[in-house]
Structure 1
Amino acid sequence: MRAGKLDRRVTLERATVIGKDEFGADLLRWDPVATVWAQARPNRGAERFTAAEVNGSAVMSFQIRYRPDVTVKDRLIYEGRVWNIVDVREIGRRVVTEIDATARAE
């Protein structure tokens, strides 16, 4: 991967369980793991009609230098927006980690 293509900053975050709520569900705190340089590429958007309102989502692919610790349980912050990771792939032999992520459209 050429360093010149890594022109965006993204923050990887990981959830930590800090307790339970009154219904027994986990209470999560999102802690930053790393802030890294990335290449951001828009994929496609989706829009669907649900419960009498239109819901949209944005889909992006992010390429970062290889990190073996990124999983779909993590999320990332890009341009002040929260992106949920839906797929993580290794490209090459430990050269690039490609992350597919979705965010709800504003």
Structure 2
Amino acid sequence: MRIGRLRDRLSLQKRDEVRDDLGGITHDWVEVTKVWAEVRGVSGRAYLSASAEQGEVTIEVLMRYRPGVEAMMRLVHLPPSGNGEIYTIQAPLPDAKRRELLCMCSTGVRK
């Protein structure tokens, strides 16, 4: 892996149970770690759903291999290199030697 390609700073987050001020449990996003990665747009589409125009973009995020990255975690683009864009991981795909991790992500429509 060429280190110069990893120019985007991202926060890897997972959804977890967190105690609120009153002692109750809520579900919130918790940062696992910060990573350097390369973010590339792959495709996009626009469509009508519920009488409103929707848009969805497919993104590839390439980073060093990291165990424990799962589908439905998310990556958040950190300033100053990014604008806080949120990428939902659909499929983490490690290479055969477990040196790189290619995450297929989506942004736009949230289900």
Structure number with the higher strand fraction is: 1
Counterpart for residue 51 of structure 2? 52
User: Which whole-Å CA distance do the structure 2 matches of 1:70 and 1:43 have between them?
Assistant: 21
1:25-104 pair list within 5 angstroms: 27-78=26-77, 79=82, 80-104=84-108
TM-score, normalising length: structure 2:
0.82
Counterpart for residue 22 of structure 1? none
User: Cα deviations across residues 35-77 of structure 1 (Å, max 9, x unaligned)?
Assistant: 1100111100011111111100121100000001100031110
Give the fraction of aligned pairs with identical amino acids, expressed as a percent.
Answer: 25
**Pairwise CA distance, 1:17:** 2.3
**Pairwise CA distance, 1:94:** 1.1
Q: CA RMSD in A?
A: 1.6
User: Which whole-Å CA distance do the structure 2 matches of 1:53 and 1:15 have between them?
Assistant: 28
TM-score, normalising length: structure 1:
0.85
Aligned residues: 99
Q: Tell me, what secondary structure is at the counterpart of 2:4?
A: helix
Unaligned 5+ runs, structure 1: 20-25
Unaligned 5+ runs, structure 2: 20-24
